[in-house]
A = this chain, B = another copy of it.
């Protein structure tokens, strides 16, 4: 099975144009069963405030992002995991949707917000979800969720074969961390990062590309440039992730000893 990360550069606020250009990039790189697109790929990242994020956000089930991706999913018989700004009632979430040729499969709302996202978005309320599509189990993390080992771990314990990781990374740590998330959970990982800058209202953020697909042993199957739009892909056997043997006598899940992990349920040190 071929999985792909779509490294893309949105133009801030140009939702329809971003959808058109991202769809072009995907159509020029057909053949994958799963495409992961960056966090907030339709809107860009550097919002002025919550009102602006809300104005650019859309309901998951009836917005332009679902329309575009559902159309692409039908055309290419593929599944899409893609970050977008989600509006629901008074809330605004930094979300990712999973879309198949049948339409919307589900939504994950980012659990751990980064920096000024705390001004723009509500903290996600979905928890960590695994979506089974065509026999493959997709777990979804968004960007800064990478730093919390609990996030990937919960998804793996819930049965994820592949951690799909839409991102807008500005720091250099996530790629090496995702290799360790792969090793410690024996899952595949697909990080789709954006490139380019957002420059708005006297602020600027540069995004670092280097989208990455890793194998179960953390080795890098595909890696993107730091500055160009491109689609990277790798051939994997997703169900291989269901065997958690790290050695013939060490199953990474059976060897866990949760009776000694109770401290993880408490909030602070």
Contacts and interface: CB of A to CB of B under 8 A. Distances in A.
Interface of A: 111-116, 118, 123, 127-128, 144, 147-150, 153-154, 156-159, 173, 176-177, 179-180, 183-184, 218, 244, 246-250, 252-269
B218 A173 contact: yes
B265 A253 contact: no
Stoichiometry (number of copies): 2
A128 B254 CA distance: 19
A252 to B, nearest CB: 7
Contacts of A246: 147
A248 B177 CA distance: 21
Nearest to A258: B265
B116 A264 contact: no
A156 B187 CA distance: 25
- 7 smallest beta-carbon distances between A and B, as pairs: A149-B149, A127-B260, A180-B180, A150-B261, A154-B263, A157-B263, A177-B180
B149 A184 contact: yes
